[in-house]
Each structure stands twice: as C-alpha cells, then as structure tokens.
Structure 1
Amino acid sequence: MTPVSWIDAHIHLDQYRDSEVRSIIRELPRHGLNTLIAVSMNRESCQRTESLARTYPGIVKPAYGYHPEQPLPTPQQTGALLQWIEARISEAVAIGEIGLPYYRRQELVAEGYALDEQGYIDLLDQQLQLAQRCDKPVVLHAVYEDADTVCDMLEQHGITRAHFHWFKGSAAQIERLAQRGYYISFTPDIVYETEIRELAAVYPRELVMTETDGPWPFEGPFAGRPTVPAMVREVCRAWAQIQGLEETAAAEQLYANACRLYQI
C-alpha cells in the first residue's frame, strides 16, 4: 500500500524562528508531509521565503506577494517588489499572499479612520497582472464582501487558478467560487468552528486543500499548542468525517488537489 502524503498548502514559514524551521522540516517525514507552500508578506518576507526555499529545495515551495493586512507600500516599493518577483518567477509556484484588507478595514473603521480602498485595489490589480502575464496561480486573502470584488478582478484578468485560503463568505459567494473552479483550504479550525464545518460540507471535494496558516494560533483542542504542518492531518480527519469519507481516501483527494493547482 502506498503511504499517504500530505501538503500544507498555506504557511508563513518565514515567520518562524530559524530553530523552529529546522524542527518543522526535521519532523515532516515522520508525519508524512513532503511539501509546504510558503507564502510571503512583503519584500523582506519574500527574501526570507526565497532563502528557505533554497535551503530546503523540493520541500519549501515559495509564493511571493504583498499581503493586504498591512499599510500600503509606496509606488516605488511596489514597483521594486514586482520587479524582484518577476526576476524569480520561475522559482515560484504562485503569487501570494495577496488580496484585500478586510480585517484592517474593520479595525480602522472602529478607530474612526478611513481606508484607502482604491489603493489596495490598485495594488492587487498590479499583482494579478503579474500572475496573468507569468501564468501563475494566485493565493488570496479575500473574505466576506471582499470576495466579490476579487472574483470580479480575477474574471477581468482571465485568471482561473486561484486559491482562497481560509475562506469565509455567504452562500452566494461560496457558489460563485465553486462554479469558477476556485480552490479553498481549511485550517485546524474546521475541528471546532461551525461556520467552517458548514462550508466543508458543501464545497466540491475536488477543490479543497489543507493548510495551517502557521504560525497563527488556534483554539479548541489546539489552544496553547504551536501551529505546525502536522496539524493538516487533523484537518483532513475532520474533513473526512464531514464528507463521510475514509481518511485515506480523503487524504489522497486533498493531496491530489494541491498538486493539481500548484503543478507540483
């Protein structure tokens, strides 16, 4: 019988300390993991992700981009980052993490400030143009109402390979993503979050992956535990139960989905 393999389809590996990264990589074989899709936040993050991918070739698959939940870069910084990414595009499996700042918007509104909505849309548009030009999938941070805007932009650019990580949205948005063939991924909160479990029950099996979004911490049975890639096995176990699948069959489906999207 062929051993089951696992992929963490979304992890911020650059945010772990060097000692933690070494421990994570050392433990991967014991848990059957062979691939980490390592996303980036900004220029500095991209550079560390690049270094990790070169240190652990074949295991760490880099994605480069500017995460929206932070202040906008200057036009000069954006141009330099896009130029940096394009020069290394052959090494990247995707452009990401990119999207729109849903949570930052909520925080600013609560504090009485306005967000430069158009600035973030323009930044996303430039990164989508790069993805389209270089034929790379995109890793997206786009939840609730932002998902509609992002879907419109994907369609405008003719981008069909998209991964909405840790997605949350309405029934209409879920249907729209599924109809377009966009992928989503589940984190460990599938074990204890009703909203996520309901999504897992309806989203097409062939468009689902596992992720940790590490080092983001989780609650429920994971409270107080450091987030590590091995947790995708618990994500798979919960998804299999929701879908009424044997765990091995579920793992094979999730692994095949990630390989298909990221062409690995």
Structure 2
Amino acid sequence: MEWIDTHCHLDEDAFTQDCEEVVTRAVDAGVKAMLAVGITLESCRRVLELAERFPQVHAIVGLHPNYVAAANPGDWEQIVALAKSPKVVGLGETGLDQYWDHSPIELQAEFFDRHLELSRELDLPFVVHCRDAEEAVVKQLKTHAERGPLNGVMHSFCGSVETAHVCMEMGMSLSISGMVTFKKNETIRKTVATIPLDRLLIETDAPYLAPTPFRGKRNEPAHVRLTAACLAEIRGVSKEEIAEATTANARRIFRLPVG
C-alpha cells in the first residue's frame, strides 16, 4: 500500500535531531510523499530546503494566520517568489484562527485573500487552517468561489457535515488527521463517513495530533497509515481501498509524481 502525508511540519524543532530517520521510517512504511508545510517566511525556506534534500518531500509555502501579524515588510513578496520553485506544490497554510489571539482577524482575512488570489494566479492548490472560525472561513471561500471552482484542501478537517459538503460543492477536498482516531471524536467520524472517496485525503500534521495509540507523543509521517486504518473501519472498506483513493487524490490535487 502507498500513502501520502498531505500535511506535516518536518522543519519544526521536534525533528531537528532525527529528520533523516523520520523520513526513512515513513518511506519504509509505504509513505511515497510527504508535504512539508511552512508557516512563516523562515519556515517556508526550511521546508523548501528539506524538499531539495529528500526526493519524497515536497513543499507548501505560505503564512499561517497566527503569524501574519509578526510578518515583516516584504515577507509576502518573498513567499510569492518561493512559491514559483518547482518543489513547491501548494500554498498555505492559510485561513482563519479565532482560538488563539496572535493576529487580528482582519489581518488574517487579508492574508487569506492573498493566498486565494495567488492560488489562481499560479494554479497551485491552497491549504486551509480553520480553528473556531468555520462560518467566517466558509463565507470568505464562497466569495472567491463566485469566480469559479476552488482548488483547495481543508486541512485537518473537523467541521460539520454541512461545512464539509459546502466546501466540496465549491470544488475543495478534505484532509483527515489523527484526531479522527480519538475516542471522543464521534462527530468527526460521522462526518468522515459522508465524504466521497474522491474528495478524501489523509495527513499527520506531524509533530502534532498523533493518532491513537501514540496520542500525546510526537507524531511523524509514518503514522499516517493509522489514520487511514481508522477511515477504513469507519467506512467499512479495506485499507487498500483507502490507500488507493487518498494517494490518487493527493497526486491529482498536488500534481505529485507517480513512483
């Protein structure tokens, strides 16, 4: 079986000492590609360096909504330049976060618009971070969808069935993280059961959100298969079917090479 981890943070301090071993374990577990996501300009530079270092790693660059207030003048222009690298397969993570109070929501919305506009300009998919901001995120996405279908992914989706289907109607796909394996998250599991296989992706968000039985420990891309196993159980299908569908979806959306 072949897996693709569509969202991880391999440039984080948690992987400083053993990044090569982490990548090797993932490859040995059947993970054919890992999409390393930047959150600041420096983070984006680091994920691009990792993508140059490891053939299985690809970069997604952008400014995370929690860090847009800390961005320096000229940072966005440098993100735009980095986005044109052949190792960059997407933009983000972008979106809105009303859980933390790190950046004014108006500034988050401005940068969300910038990422969505750049997505159309460069024909790259965008990755959405949404925390305690479901209604506002959907409203902003709808504004951009008036110009045509959106080429985007809802990262670590844990929203409602209604939001899931509105996003899919706009052309988007939904990526599921290890949270779906947590016992208390029955609502997420019910939502996941309603998502068509051709709109489903899997991710780790490593080093965060480690799936059961590793909850509370450092997550890593090799664990993406545990989230996939949970999805197979929820949907009453084989792990092979989940692997085939989610891997094909990731390759199509992010234009990843086969093999």
TM-score, normalised with respect to structure 2: 0.88
Residue of structure 2 equivalent to 1:35: 33
Compare the two structures and name the one with the higher helix fraction.
1
CA displacement at 1:217 relative to structure 2: 4.0
Give the alignment partner of residue 155 of structure 1, picking from 145, 158, 162. 145
- More moved, 168-177 vs 66-75: 66-75
Q: CA 1:171/1:17 → structure 2, altered by over 3 Å: closer, same or farther?
A: closer
- Superposed CA deviations along residues 36-95 of structure 1, whole A, max 9, x for unmatched, are 0111101000110111011112x1110100001235145724443344334x34331001
CA displacement at 1:236 relative to structure 2: 0.9
- Superposed CA deviations along residues 171-193 of structure 1, whole A, max 9, x for unmatched, are 32222012223111111121122
Quick one: percent identity of the two aligned structures? 26
Q: Pairwise mapping of residues 63-142 of structure 1 onto structure 2 (< 5 A)? A: 63-73=60-70, 76-86=73-83, 88-105=84-101, 116-142=104-130
Gaps of 5+ in 2: none
Q: CA 1:99/1:235 → structure 2, altered by over 3 Å: closer, same or farther?
A: same
CA displacement at 1:250 relative to structure 2: 1.7
Within 1, Cα distance between the matches of 2:203 and 2:41?
23
What residue identity is the alignment partner of 1:136?
A: L
Within 1, Cα distance between the matches of 2:195 and 2:79?
33
Residue of structure 1 equivalent to 2:169: 179
Give the alignment partner of residue 11 of structure 1, picking from 2, 5, 8. 8
- More moved, 218-227 vs 244-253: 218-227
| Residue 249 (structure 2) pairs with residue 257 (structure 1) | yes
Aligned residues: 251
**Is this contact kept in 1: 2:149–2:170, CA < 8 A?**
no
| Residue 156 (structure 2) pairs with residue 166 (structure 1) | yes
Within 2, Cα distance between the matches of 1:126 and 1:159?
17
What residue identity is the alignment partner of 1:247?
A: K
Residue of structure 2 equivalent to 1:112: none
Give the alignment partner of residue 191 of structure 1, picking from 181, 198, 213. 181
CA displacement at 1:220 relative to structure 2: 4.8
CA displacement at 1:118 relative to structure 2: 1.9
Secondary structure at 2:109 match in 1:
helix
What residue identity is the alignment partner of 2:35?
A: I
Within 2, Cα distance between the matches of 1:100 and 1:116?
10
Q: CA 1:212/1:219 → structure 2, altered by over 3 Å: closer, same or farther?
A: closer
What residue identity is the alignment partner of 1:91?
A: K
Residue of structure 2 equivalent to 1:238: 230
Q: CA 1:25/1:171 → structure 2, altered by over 3 Å: closer, same or farther?
A: closer
Within 1, Cα distance between the matches of 2:209 and 2:199?
25
CA displacement at 1:260 relative to structure 2: 1.1
Secondary structure at 1:202 match in 2:
coil
Specify the structure having the higher radius of gyration (Cα): 1
CA displacement at 1:245 relative to structure 2: 0.5
RMSD, matched Cα: 2.1
Q: Pairwise mapping of residues 214-233 of structure 1 onto structure 2 (< 5 A)? A: 214-218=206-210, 220-233=212-225
Within 2, Cα distance between the matches of 1:150 and 1:249?
34
**Is this contact kept in 1: 2:178–2:212, CA < 8 A?**
no
